[in-house]
Structure 1
Amino acid sequence: MLQRVQKASFQHLKLRLEVLLRFFSRRRGFWLRCLLCWGIGCLALSNDEINAYDQRFHLRGDQKASSQIVLVTIRQSDFATIYDTRTNFLDNMSEVTDITDSYFWNKRIWSELLIRILRQNPKAVGVTLYFGDNIGKVALTQEEQKLFYDMRVFWSATTNNLDRVLNPAFTSRDLNNIGSNEVRRDEDGVVRRVFPQRAELPHLVEKITGKKFPTTQAGLPINFRGSNKVFTQYSFSEIMYDEVPFDAFTNKIILIGAETSSGPVYITPMGTISRTEILAHTTDTVLGNKWIQRLSNSWYAAGFFVLMLIAVFLITTYPQSVALFFILWIGTLLAALSAWVFDTFYFWSPAFSPFVLLGASWIIFIGYQASKVERKNFRLQQEQQYLQELEQLKNNFVSLISHDLKTPIAKIQAIVDRLLVEHQSKDESLSQDLQSLRLFGDELNRYIQSILKVLRVESRDFKINTEVGDINEVVEEALQQLRPLAREKHITINTSLEPMFSLEFDTTLIKEVVINLVENAIKYTPHGGSIEVISQEEDDLVHVIVKDTGEGIKPEDMEKVWGKFTRGSDQDMKTKGTGLGLYLVKYFIELHGGKVKMESVVGTGTTVSFTLPLDTESESEVLA
């Protein structure tokens, strides 16, 4: 039983995987483009982390540094007066990391400097210069030993080319007063990070702050607070001449360094600064716990995947202009958010690579959308061509059938007319049947003629033939043709035709319009009713109005009656018709640049009117 359940579960899982694979297979082009965009964003991340990281500091500018850090700068000119009296030194030049440090050694001057600084009870004093084998053996008195081995003073140690530790001359027995002053450059020569040192030689910053670096193998990004002069600084001369405040060093961390044109300088994201200032920035970062934090690349890659999906959704869902606006807005928002998080919470997030990802998504998927539209247009063109051929086939068929029906109908009508003449006086019932047959033939002939008219006007090569004519004359010709039909129903046709100038129009089509309107009025007007036909000129338009006293049209049918093969909802059983008359009326009038209008009240009657423009130039523009 358990094996059956496990087998069924396995089969169900296999089926779902097959469905999923088929789904991705059908849209592999879409997903491959998504992976390409995502890959471009991830590749841009490596470059973003280096270049954009430096740009963040430039954009941020100088920040407020810790007031607990004070720099003491010894200039080369401070030692120029005593340099000539110094003895030869540098006994072991091969092991010296920075030979210029020894230039600033003088026991008497350093004793005086440390006395003046320690007198104000600082928290710690860090000497960033290396004084070891490069200054030779130094003989110290008991008072000097207390001064140079003071527990608040920490001396810099360094390493040689063989990675051997070079301790300073004033190293205590327990090695508690020394620390490494190493400043390590990245591969491009820029100092961005500080690296934890070996256990037996902590970093000088760790010694003067009493705090350990967070352990990491990749190095800790230094949160540079600005370029030069962001920390409180005093020169050697100001201290010797008592030109500093009495509490300038009280409970402060003092970093003593040198300023010399021959000494090394370091390139940082904030520009070129000295080793002492780099250590000061590192000290500020440790004191305020301002380490630059970042996530692992896998988290950024996951975020890029989500961002890519959002961009693709916008591009494939909304119009190009709307999608571009949202993409630019998202990119700008991410850049602003990244800068704010970096300045406020010291958290680094990429800003340039998201723009690269969004730009790649835009370029790739705009092309994808364009190809989709092109394929759809191609299919539409094929379908349109097929529909045109089908429409032409239908028109040809209807035209052929209608044309072939006209001949037998004409023959039937001729035979009926002959029989009516022969049997009119012999058999009254037969004569009535023949008259009915004649009427049915006329009705069928009108249906066929109406279909042929629709096919003709809807053909592509149909054009109106305009000529100068009198609209009233056309109306009279149409009424003359329809008066016999009106007399059969005892309907009176009244006219009120206002004299007007001639205008350009297709006389055949407009006559067909008037015939259709008046014929409809006769058809739907009861026996003994009346019809009024009016023509008048108003502004730049000619108005022709046909009023009847028929049953009227329901409001819900007012718009439908203009359609092809459409009639009023209650007329199918009362009167016969094709539903093409008003369709042709509207079509012919709009070809002339005019308009049709209908007003009707149920039980009272209907008024149908059309207008034609007098301005032939405006008419030509409409037709074009």
Structure 2
Amino acid sequence: MCWLIGCLALSNDEITSYDQRFQLRGDQKTSPQIVLITIKQSDFAMIYDARTNFLDNMSEVTDITDSFFWNKPLWSELLLRILRQNPQSVGVTLYFGDNVGTVRMTPEDQRIFLDPRIVWASTTNSLERILTPVFTNRDHNNLGSNELRRDEDGVVRRVFPQRAEMPHLVEKITGKKFPTQLAGLAINYRGSARVFKQYSLSEIIYDELPANAFTDKIILIGAETSSAPVYMTPMGTLSRTEILAHITDTVLGDKWIKRLSFVWYAAGFFVLMLMAVFVITTYPQSVALFFILWIGTLLAALSAWVFDTFYFWSPAFSPFVLLGTSWIIFIGYQATKIERQNFHLQQEQEYLAQLEQLKNNFVSLISHDLKTPIAKIQAIVDRLMTQHAQETELGQDLKSLRLFSDELNRYIQSILKVLRVESRDFKINKEVADINEIIEEALQHLRPLARERGIQIHTALEPMFSVEFDTTLLKEVVINLIENAIKYTPAGGQIEVISHESEEFVHVLVKDTGEGIKPEDMEKVWGKFTRGSDQDLRTKGTGLGLYLVKYFIELHGGKVTMESKVGLGTTVAFTLPLDAEEDEVLV
């Protein structure tokens, strides 16, 4: 479709582009070999005023034809002065035939008017019959047609080869044939009026010319009156003589406008369309638009340069139409495609959301249902431990049972926490508190576990101002970090908890002397239900602790970092902004 629209625009481009090209490039350099002689109506005023006493002012005469400018003595003098400078040829664009009646010529007149360098204009009547001038020689080889044809819109754009028996006037004065006899040839207009060297009749008669003004030149003689017919051209209105001068310049310089067949241009448009589609589908819209405009501008500039330099026509407007159409259609196609993908993604998201909700409901239901049996088990174990405190073996088993029930309870609590924080109505409730107090509370809860495992915990808590945060969540963060450090630190190891304050943040660090984490596992440990690759079978855990730590800290606008070296230990640190917003954060 894009290609068909481009070809349709190309058909219109062929009709109008020549006009636009000529107008855009303006006046060009013409051949210095061409000289125009313009006979004005005022040059014949004195002659006709003397003959026609009833005319008060010759400038008021409006019905003027070529015969008006016939005066044998004046023409004899004009041609004699021109021939004395030995021009290459002289073309008389005015028709002097039956319209001037019988012309009696002396031998001297015949020598001048029948000079082989002079070509007289012939024309045709309404019946397409050739009308020859009175100065036709015996061989009829000093004649040339001065016919100009208008296109349907009245503009003269082309010159048409004439019949074999009557060549065109330009062919006669240049001695060169038109390159084809089959169709009209586009005239390469070099500018508007007055681009050729021109002289008036009075300048010639009164010897006001520079020396050798006509030597080896091609002379075109025409007339200019207030009522003389003018022709519309791509460069504006021009006289018949000026148009013939442009044709002469085209023939002399072989400046005929060349072009390929429509098939070649259509094939080029197909390649251009493929290029545009590749750019549009490969690059982002802004980049693709830049390339499309750049390609169109480059083609237009190249087309203008080739036309002005080599007289070769290539389309300039229709490539823009092709590129613009390709842009609109394929951008629309991509937009439709993206919209369809978004629709499918939205459906898939809704499905996944339903599936996630179903999973959460299932886990929540199971977890809640397990809490009551575990609480009953723990209560019975506690009662049995009290009743059988003296029985060593049974007491040890009951103690192990209690420990396992506590561990199962922590797993269930971790799962419930994740479900709670990922629910849509989860809120953090901020209050002003001392972060060091939260750390001390967590340590008070975990020091017995550390002593049981033979691990020492040291603190370096810098006194700080109170900060606004959710105390429950931050306590959970500190407990998770210290509990992880205890879990992965061997007996005899040490844990250090540090807090300090900077200009904008509160910093808390938990250091241990445990086994450390492999570099490839550093990013994985923050995920949900994810643990180190070498810890799955060595230590127990849900893989939710660090996930909750990162989640809770980021809810407060803070950041969590980790540094670890295998065999030396791990340091986990988090920061909290001092200027946290006072409003509750809704997740």
Q: Same fold (TM over 0.5)?
A: yes
Alignment of 1:3-152 (within 5 A): 35=1, 37-84=2-49, 100-152=65-117
Q: Confirm whether residue 486 of structure 1 aligns to residue 450 of structure 2.
A: yes
Query: Which residue pairs with 2:58 in the alignment?
Result: none
Alignment of 1:419-458 (within 5 A): 419-426=384-391, 428-458=392-422
Of 208, 227, 233, which residue of structure 2 is paired with 1:262? 227
- Is the Cα contact below 8 Å between 2:38 and 2:200 reproduced in 1? yes
CA offset digits 1:577-623 (Å, max 9, x no partner): 11211111111111111122323343333332222222233x76998
Query: Which residue pairs with 1:283 in the alignment?
Result: 248
> Deviation of residue 106 (structure 1)?
0.9
Query: Which residue pairs with 2:186 in the alignment?
Result: 221
Q: Tell me the distance in 2 between the aligned counterparts of 1:86 and 1:135.
A: 16
> Deviation of residue 570 (structure 1)?
2.6
- Is the Cα contact below 8 Å between 2:428 and 2:584 reproduced in 1? no
> Deviation of residue 128 (structure 1)?
0.3
- Is the Cα contact below 8 Å between 2:429 and 2:584 reproduced in 1? no
Q: Confirm whether residue 167 of structure 1 aligns to residue 135 of structure 2.
A: no
Q: Aligned pair in 2 of structure 1 residues 120, 622: CA closer, same or farther (>3 Å)?
A: farther
- Is the Cα contact below 8 Å between 2:427 and 2:584 reproduced in 1? no
Q: Tell me the distance in 2 between the aligned counterparts of 1:601 and 1:82.
A: 118
- Is the Cα contact below 8 Å between 2:430 and 2:584 reproduced in 1? no
- Is the Cα contact below 8 Å between 1:99 and 1:134 reproduced in 2? no
Letter in 2 for 1:147: I
Q: Tell me the distance in 2 between the aligned counterparts of 1:509 and 1:269.
A: 83
Q: Tell me the distance in 2 between the aligned counterparts of 1:245 and 1:171.
A: 32
Letter in 2 for 1:512: E
Q: Tell me the distance in 2 between the aligned counterparts of 1:558 and 1:47.
A: 67
CA offset digits 1:231-251 (Å, max 9, x no partner): 121111111112223322122
Q: Aligned pair in 2 of structure 1 residues 86, 48: CA closer, same or farther (>3 Å)?
A: farther
Letter in 2 for 1:136: G
Q: Aligned pair in 2 of structure 1 residues 328, 305: CA closer, same or farther (>3 Å)?
A: same
Q: Tell me the distance in 1 between the aligned counterparts of 2:230 and 2:585.
A: 80
Alignment of 1:271-310 (within 5 A): 271-310=236-275
CA offset digits 1:478-520 (Å, max 9, x no partner): 1221122122123333333333332211111111111111111
Of 308, 314, 332, which residue of structure 2 is paired with 1:349? 314
Letter in 2 for 1:507: T
Q: Tell me the distance in 1 between the aligned counterparts of 2:31 and 2:538.
A: 100
Q: Tell me the distance in 2 between the aligned counterparts of 1:491 and 1:87.
A: 138
Of stretches 285-294 and 49-58 in structure 1, the one that deviates more from structure 2 is 49-58
> Deviation of residue 430 (structure 1)?
3.5
Q: Tell me the distance in 2 between the aligned counterparts of 1:320 and 1:589.
A: 38
Query: Which residue pairs with 1:8 in the alignment?
Result: none
Q: Confirm whether residue 579 of structure 1 aligns to residue 579 of structure 2.
A: no
> Deviation of residue 167 (structure 1)?
0.7
CA offset digits 1:270-327 (Å, max 9, x no partner): 1111101111111111111110112222222222222222222222222111111111
Query: Which residue pairs with 1:507 in the alignment?
Result: 471
Alignment of 1:155-554 (within 5 A): 155-426=120-391, 428-554=392-518
Q: Tell me the distance in 1 between the aligned counterparts of 2:38 and 2:145.
A: 19
> Deviation of residue 417 (structure 1)?
3.1
Q: Tell me the distance in 2 between the aligned counterparts of 1:622 and 1:414.
A: 38
Query: Which residue pairs with 1:612 in the alignment?
Result: 576
Of 553, 562, 569, which residue of structure 2 is paired with 1:598? 562
Q: Confirm whether residue 559 of structure 1 aligns to residue 559 of structure 2.
A: no
Letter in 1 for 2:439: V
Q: Tell me the distance in 2 between the aligned counterparts of 1:181 and 1:538.
A: 98
Q: Secondary structure at the match of 2:119?
A: strand
Letter in 2 for 1:348: W
- Is the Cα contact below 8 Å between 1:593 and 1:622 reproduced in 2? no
> Deviation of residue 124 (structure 1)?
1.0
> Deviation of residue 424 (structure 1)?
4.1
> Deviation of residue 354 (structure 1)?
1.4
- Is the Cα contact below 8 Å between 1:593 and 1:623 reproduced in 2? no
Q: Tell me the distance in 2 between the aligned counterparts of 1:74 and 1:306.
A: 55
Of stretches 295-304 and 338-347 in structure 1, the one that deviates more from structure 2 is 295-304
Q: Secondary structure at the match of 2:212?
A: coil
> Deviation of residue 223 (structure 1)?
0.8
> Deviation of residue 366 (structure 1)?
2.2
Q: Aligned pair in 2 of structure 1 residues 41, 216: CA closer, same or farther (>3 Å)?
A: farther
Q: Tell me the distance in 2 between the aligned counterparts of 1:115 and 1:222.
A: 32
Segments of 5+ residues of structure 2 without an aligned counterpart are 54-62
Segments of 5+ residues of structure 1 without an aligned counterpart are 1-34, 89-97
Letter in 2 for 1:437: L
Query: Which residue pairs with 1:27 in the alignment?
Result: none
- Is the Cα contact below 8 Å between 1:530 and 1:548 reproduced in 2? yes
- Is the Cα contact below 8 Å between 1:491 and 1:528 reproduced in 2? yes
> Deviation of residue 470 (structure 1)?
2.3
Q: Aligned pair in 2 of structure 1 residues 54, 592: CA closer, same or farther (>3 Å)?
A: same
Q: Tell me the distance in 2 between the aligned counterparts of 1:357 and 1:220.
A: 28
Q: Tell me the distance in 2 between the aligned counterparts of 1:231 and 1:460.
A: 86
Q: Aligned pair in 2 of structure 1 residues 396, 622: CA closer, same or farther (>3 Å)?
A: closer
Q: Tell me the distance in 2 between the aligned counterparts of 1:602 and 1:48.
A: 75
Q: Tell me the distance in 1 between the aligned counterparts of 2:584 and 2:374.
A: 43
Q: Tell me the distance in 1 between the aligned counterparts of 2:520 and 2:325.
A: 55
Q: Tell me the distance in 2 between the aligned counterparts of 1:412 and 1:216.
A: 113
- Is the Cα contact below 8 Å between 1:525 and 1:550 reproduced in 2? yes
Letter in 2 for 1:285: T
> Deviation of residue 437 (structure 1)?
2.4
Q: Identity, % of aligned pairs? A: 80
> Deviation of residue 429 (structure 1)?
3.3
Q: CA RMSD in A?
A: 2.1
CA offset digits 1:186-241 (Å, max 9, x no partner): 11111111000111111111111111112244300011111122212111111111
Q: Tell me the distance in 1 between the aligned counterparts of 2:34 and 2:440.
A: 110
Q: Tell me the distance in 1 between the aligned counterparts of 2:73 and 2:151.
A: 38
Q: Secondary structure at the match of 1:616?
A: coil
Q: Secondary structure at the match of 2:341?
A: helix
- Is the Cα contact below 8 Å between 1:179 and 1:205 reproduced in 2? yes
Letter in 2 for 1:148: F
- Is the Cα contact below 8 Å between 1:486 and 1:522 reproduced in 2? yes
Q: Secondary structure at the match of 1:125?
A: strand
Letter in 2 for 1:449: Q
> Deviation of residue 568 (structure 1)?
2.4
- Is the Cα contact below 8 Å between 1:591 and 1:623 reproduced in 2? no
- Is the Cα contact below 8 Å between 1:423 and 1:431 reproduced in 2? yes
> Deviation of residue 335 (structure 1)?
0.7
Q: Tell me the distance in 2 between the aligned counterparts of 1:219 and 1:283.
A: 15
